Structure 1
């Protein structure tokens, strides 16, 4: 059950507005930590449940409610990251973070067909592009939490230490290690306008089943991953190399009869969406460096496409 608040609630509890104003910040934090909007929403819900489980006197004694909620949400995320490793080891195929649409399309595809709360929208900056999130997946839970809290949300290491349960010096080392991972794995992306041109050319070549054009748009060392979660067919292993990926995509195109490929913004960067009769069946994030695509992530797990399907 989710806690629902109304304007009348805010009038009866003057502090409610201030508390609920933290919701967007908490959603943004939890999504970056977990790579899943559904899990992020659950974490924020649990943080509010714990807040209202306290007595009014206990709540009044907390000088910084936003800081308290962040600390609780951060600790819940840390616990989930630790348990997620075991869950993802049993996940069928690759695990790719849940893709997010551009905010202009954010109101579509919510469970039950309802519009999303604007406060739930995730800010689509460089810290949510797919390449960034995938590198986060390679970090330990403590590294990920320390890095996101300090480098992205600008919390001090003393504040991070309270959440991670380590000393400020240890948290500084965790963030430094995470930073090295990010630098080693995350090459600078091409400007958005150039990326959009490359993605558009890629879409046309894919629709035309032009294998030579596809190979020309892919970096020779490009990699492709597809996430179906065992629910739909997807490549169980990464596909590596421009020619191998192009041939794989041509084979996939042969099964796309009656489907439409659309240019869309995916996690703040130019990407593609495959639809069948108006229903989104795949969301594709692309990493472009220079004039070529270096990485290709296709999410086909329906559970991760709920914000894309009306």
Structure 2
């Protein structure tokens, strides 16, 4: 085996970890794949003779590529999106395949990714690399072009935002009971039953993209979210239980055609966040279970 084959073998062994790093930084499965591939192209043209820690080196290169992508994405948006739901990782409730399991290590919830989307690119990278992957601040500083103390401050600011967010209940079975109650109430048109499972300050985000399917929207408060649920109750009959980023969620699909993915954040037995991705173009790019994809 020559040096390039050896490097390729090592890189492939680290690929699940590298995809997990890129997914947390970018919040997009397809962009994470692109970042890892771009990192490999750079690495394959590099001199590896002095590298003592290939895994750390791979992570650093992927992080730099992902940071550049995140900064470019921000620059392309002349105006911030009204509603953006990160790419969900959807798996069947009975199990998780190894690649998705790597993406979901440490339970990166959809609600957490929504919070990460509010951070600056440098804050997000510093938080992800340090708090999720234990990378030293000296290494993070080299990636973001700051001093180690400045990198520490970036992560600290991000951590405060994350800690202020909802901490979901960890019991998947209990989550599923609440989601099922929400779907049943929606199907039955039972407004009071919907209010019973919704937190008074619940937030709903629906990202439908820019197509002809309608406008993206947000709703806050139990009454407003219950009204939205009743308006789209017809979708509840096509709802299939899945895990969305490791939490109880719903895949809405009719005859193999995905219509929406719904992620829920549940705390103290109440739904506190509902994140809906119904953008047809983005749904087509996702690896969704049970659709013959």
TM-score (norm 1): 0.84
1:34 and 1:77 in contact (8 A); partners too: yes
The reply to whether residue 36 of structure 1 matches residue 25 of structure 2 is: no
- 1:2-33 deviation per Cα after TM superposition (whole angstroms, max 9, x unaligned): xxxxxxx8998344322211111110000000
> Where does residue 73 of structure 1 map in the other structure?
62
> Where does residue 64 of structure 1 map in the other structure?
53
| Aligned counterparts of 1:41 and 1:198: Cα–Cα separation in 2 | 33
Q: What pairs up with 1:1-310 in 2 under 5 angstroms?
A: 13-54=5-46, 58-88=47-77, 90=79, 93-102=82-91, 119=99, 122-189=102-169, 191-254=171-234, 256=235, 260-305=238-283, 306-308=286-288, 309=291, 310=293
| Aligned counterparts of 2:21 and 2:216: Cα–Cα separation in 1 | 30
- Give SS of 2:210's match: coil
Evaluate the alpha carbon distance shift between residue 303 and residue 121 of structure 1 in structure 2; reply closer, same or farther with a 3 A threshold. farther
Evaluate the alpha carbon distance shift between residue 202 and residue 133 of structure 1 in structure 2; reply closer, same or farther with a 3 A threshold. same
2:123 and 2:155 in contact (8 A); partners too: yes
Evaluate the alpha carbon distance shift between residue 73 and residue 14 of structure 1 in structure 2; reply closer, same or farther with a 3 A threshold. closer
1:91 and 1:229 in contact (8 A); partners too: no
- Give SS of 1:187's match: coil
- Give SS of 1:62's match: coil
2:106 and 2:132 in contact (8 A); partners too: no
Q: May I ask how many residue pairs the two structures share in their alignment? A: 287
| Aligned counterparts of 1:60 and 1:94: Cα–Cα separation in 2 | 46
Instruction: Extract unaligned runs of 5+ from structure 1.
Output: 1-8, 108-117
**Higher alpha-carbon deviation: 225-234 or 182-191:** 182-191
TM-score (norm 2): 0.89
1:273 and 1:280 in contact (8 A); partners too: yes
Q: CA RMSD in A?
A: 2.4
Evaluate the alpha carbon distance shift between residue 10 and residue 60 of structure 1 in structure 2; reply closer, same or farther with a 3 A threshold. closer
| Aligned counterparts of 2:196 and 2:81: Cα–Cα separation in 1 | 31
1:27 and 1:120 in contact (8 A); partners too: no
Instruction: Extract unaligned runs of 5+ from structure 2.
Output: none
